[in-house]
A and B are shown apart, each in its own frame.
Chain A
Amino acid sequence: MEKCIACGLCAEKCPKKVDDEFNMGISKRKAVYIKYGQAVPLKYAIDPEQCIYLTRGKCRACEKFCPTGAINFEDKEEIVTIDVGSVILAPGFKPFDPSVYDVYGYGKIEDVVTSLDYERLLSASGPNMGHLIRPSDHQEPKKIAWLQCVGSRNNNRCDNTYCSSVCCMYAIKQALVTAEHLSGDDISQTIFFMDLRSHGKDFEGYYENAKTKGVNFVRARPHTIDPGPEGVGVSIRFTTETGETFEELFDMAVLSIGLEASGDSMALADTFGIELDMHHFAKTGSFEPVNSSRTGVFVTGAFQAPKAIPRSVAQASAAASSAATLLADARGSMTRNKEWPEPRDIRGETPAIGVFVCSCGINISNVVDVEAVAKYAATLPNVVHVENNLFTCSADTQELIAEKIKEHGLNRIVIAACTPRTHEPLFQETLKDAKLNGFMVEMANIRNQNAWVHQREPEKATQKAKDQVRMAVAKITYSSPLNQETLNVTPKALVVGGGIAGMTSALAIADQGFETLIMEKNNTLGGNALALKMSFRGEIVKPMLDGLIEKVSTHPKISVATEATLKYVSGSVGNFKSEISINGTLKQIQYGVAVMAIGGREGVPTEYHYGEDRRVMTHLEFDAQVMESIVAESEKAAAPDKGKMENPQSVVFIQCVGSREPERPYCSRICCVHSVKTAIQIKEKSPETQVFILNRDIRTYGVWEDYYQKARELGVIFIRYEVERKPVVNLEENHIAVKVTDPILQLPLDIEADYLVLASGVIPNQSRDLVEVFKCSASAEGFLNEAHPKLRPVDMSVDGLFVAGMCNYPKPIDEAIEQAKAAASRACVVLSKETMKLDAVKSFVTDKCDGCALCVDVCPYNAISLETVDSSLDLESASYAETEKCKDSVVATTLNGESHNLNGSFHRRIVTDSALCKGCGICFATCPKEGIMVHGFTMNELKAQVTAAIA
């Protein structure tokens, strides 16, 4: 595997074609293959079940053509034993196979595909290069149907009674992306669904957007798909809520298949001896959501329950946190640091460039005339040495490069080979070993972006390669050595918010050995959990919460500040400084990272007569005032306690109160499960009580679907309403009159309720102040934003800041704990280093800066600020203290509203914070005076490259 350079010659020469499972068998691959173009590591593998040599003893074509001798037919599976302190299981899921359903015709009707098949059809790296064509006649489909819940929410033909949680959103995504792939305005996309579950952050807006873009949403579960006329397309039969049956022709049908546990993951669970739940997912509890039933074994992702990417990623970090806590004492005990010799000082030397042109076996040389390129390179200015190597990346070539650097006194290197994205670090190391600054190398990408893409035009490719080498030589001529700054890290954390999320984060950070301060604005820890009786799984909250508060309060590494507010923040990742007010007393603190866990709260309803009658309540009020009594009542049987309430005869829940409407356009995720769970409790304790849940969609995502089913079995009545025709509530003497139109009966219903419970959703706690002091970002609704909605779900856009809990989006306890642990894990990545090495590619200020400040506003990372300096001081020698003093003077001028300097000897300029800068160079492109540039991409370097491109 070390020898493979991923040139692909083996696959090109391999005579055996097999179905490509990555493209769902729609296209072919060879018996020697890479799974997909972005595979890591990018190494070809032989499929032993398909290889002609391994199955029939003849062929070995790949071995003959491999330029590096990387083919090893003798390679065997090895059993290795490793000692570990903890294990994380993340085997994922298996897509549901819909061929068990004869009614959908999958595998029989050509134009019925699964959502994963369709995903490949849409993909630019898929079998049709992103050109959408249907399987039957290879024509562009115009009218496409998606069928939801195939292999989910069903116990008839499969046992997957749960909701797969992700299919609604991916179907909407596919419907929207379809429009981008097809031409013409006669495109029609129809999604057949039961409940549309857009319960994630920004999902509801995405759903609404799809409606405005013309995607049809039809509430029906089609019962039959037949082939279309002449065997192309499909005919779908479905019955709508009103009872009418339709038969409609579509060009194509996509089955939105669900997620299920694979046999392999069940076997893995068996190997580890961990328990699975009734759906064969790993069993976990709400308060330890990534702990399996066996200590030290953690679970994450769809192995635990079906879930989308953001929660999978957060869970993964949570599992890492839990594992790292167990291993805290051993942290760093098996790591080694590489050290390099002091680089040679090349200041004052004239450029002496060495050019190494790679043949990459024959990958480059069979298209590009590498010898001609090498010859040409030797004629370029400042080039003193040129080599052509069979493999410039091989270990012996590294030694050769080092030798040549010494022999010829080279101070700049150009490698004409593959892409710097994979190979630049290797050559940087070679330079460092040879006592050169690692940044004195430039690569000319004559393989990926030349030989491989111009295979039929060798002459033009050779000319282009010469141009590429010329550009690289021109650029490196103007390069100078770069340094990577190192910063000391303050090994302390600040956690803002003392609810479950904040306390869990603090505990996880402190358990890894770092001092942590929890700031809570109220006078007690606990947050919303103080008002919660039990988790969705039925675990009692109070003992867990008491235990958590106790642990946090007595932990030697944790300090708690109640009635605390944040006044001021300065600094950046690794080194933040703040002033906080604790009960009126000001205190200065320093910390390396901060976790935002400021929570949210139940919204106060403004409709359905809330506040006018004590019988109209929110969830939390009903839990506290009525549920306790119902539960207590049935347990104590007939004990006539004081204050006892008669069990109600009828309870009505109204869902989405204030939610999914223009004023609060998001879904609060937890209210459906809360209502359904409460309804079950009522029915279990008082079966004669009638319970109605008036809803727009029931969003009991994932395994919570079990509760929806159980509630229906217990006789809870679910009635859907449209937002245009909301229930009408009238307060009567003896009851609350609720009028709602049942869409199935098509009749108005009058319900007499003893209690009306309003599921009013979650609103975020005020985040404006935090956003202002930390310069982080929040959504329009006030939820704190993550750096990337899928891949960095707990990092914030400002490095060193992390987010957890309901301030990010409404979520139940288990998800808040996952996120809190994930935030702790991410925070400890920073805290566990004594020093942080920054990238070298950072912006820097030149002496042309006149302080116009145009760059300050465009910087997306708030890395640029203005300062005033004393012109009499040399720019380089201005000490930190003086700079600080000057900053104050700028403040003074700004406060006075004066635009001129304090006195003639001062001038303004900008200053950049390397810890915040990401090297994007927007500042550079904005500056009219070349007053700010980016290391490694200066105006001289880029101009030289542009000029050389054309010359």
Chain B
Amino acid sequence: MNDQFEPIIVGFLCNWCAYAGGDLAGVSRLQYPPNMRAVRVMCSGMVHPNLVADAFHQGADGVIVMG
């Protein structure tokens, strides 16, 4: 692994907390690395294990479920 490694992270974000937090980070201009791709869900409890497995299967370097 070299310094150029840019992981692709699939994020499942609960609409009511994590996604709202993501929006607030924007309003507050908090800077963070652009490696996560967010999938908005209505509850982190909605994230089916197959979706997580699928993400890895497709080649994701990481999956983060936030809720």
Contacts and interface: CB of A to CB of B under 8 A. Distances in A.
Nearest to A460: B34
Contacts of B38: 445, 449, 468
A691 interface: no
A434 B50 CA distance: 37
Given A125-B24, A950-B59, A922 B45 contact: yes
A452 B33 CA distance: 12
Contacts of A129: 30
B20 A934 contact: no
A858 to B, nearest CB: 8
A920 B67 CA distance: 12
Contacts of A920: 42-43, 45-46
A942 B39 contact: yes
Interface string A718-735: 000000000000000000
Contacts of B4: none
B46 A448 contact: no
Contact of A950 (B10, B41, B48): B10
B23 A946 contact: no
Given A445-B38, A464-B34, A922-B43, A946 B10 contact: yes
Nearest to A456: B31
Contacts of B46: 920-922, 924-925, 934, 937
A947 interface: yes
Contacts of B15: 421
Interface in A380-435: 419-422
A950 B46 CA distance: 20
B66 interface: no
Contact of B8 (A420, A454, A949): A949
Interface string A460-479: 11011001100100000000
A449 B20 CA distance: 10
Contacts of B29: 8, 452-453, 455
A6 B27 contact: yes
A215 to B, nearest CB: 27
Interface string A431-450: 00000000000000101111
Contacts of A467: 37
B48 A939 contact: yes
Contacts of B32: 453-454
B23 A449 contact: yes
A609 interface: no
Contact of A471 (B26, B39, B51): B39
A951 interface: yes
A946 B58 contact: yes
A457 interface: yes
A53 to B, nearest CB: 25
Given A920-B45, A925-B49, A37 B28 contact: yes
Interface residues of A, number: 47
Contacts of A419: 19, 23, 26
Given A421-B19, A925-B45, A925-B46, A454 B31 contact: yes
Given A453-B31, A457-B34, A945 B25 contact: no
Contact of A38 (B24, B26, B45, B50): B24
A214 B15 CA distance: 36
A464 B23 contact: no
Nearest to B8: A950
Contacts of A233: none
A453 B33 CA distance: 8
A471 B37 contact: yes
A38 B51 CA distance: 32
Contact of A949 (B31, B39, B43, B47): B39
A914 B39 CA distance: 24
Contacts of A456: 31
Contact of A461 (B34, B43, B48): B34
B22 A448 contact: yes
A448 B27 contact: yes
A421 B47 contact: no
A452 B26 CA distance: 5
Contact of A925 (B6, B23, B40, B47): B47
Contacts of A698: none
B1 to A, nearest CB: 18
Contacts of B28: 37, 125
A950 B24 contact: no
B55 A949 contact: yes
A924 B27 CA distance: 33
Contact of A841 (B20, B34, B42): B42
A921 B26 contact: no
B49 to A, nearest CB: 7
A943 interface: yes
A228 B2 CA distance: 50
B64 interface: no
A421 B23 contact: yes
A42 interface: yes
B52 to A, nearest CB: 9
Contact of B26 (A453, A460, A945, A951): A453
B45 A468 contact: no
Contacts of A301: none
A222 interface: no
Contacts of A8: 27, 29
A263 B10 CA distance: 53
A450 B48 contact: no
User: Which are the 6 A-B pairs with shortest beta-carbon distances?
Assistant: A921-B46, A448-B26, A920-B43, A452-B26, A949-B37, A922-B45
20 contacts: A8-B27, A37-B27, A37-B28, A42-B27, A419-B19, A419-B23, A453-B31, A453-B32, A454-B33, A464-B37, A471-B37, A471-B39, A921-B43, A925-B45, A934-B46, A937-B41, A946-B54, A949-B37, A950-B8, A950-B37
Given A455-B31, A946-B51, A950-B37, 12 more contacts: A419-B23, A420-B40, A445-B38, A448-B23, A452-B26, A453-B30, A454-B34, A467-B37, A924-B48, A925-B48, A949-B8, A950-B59
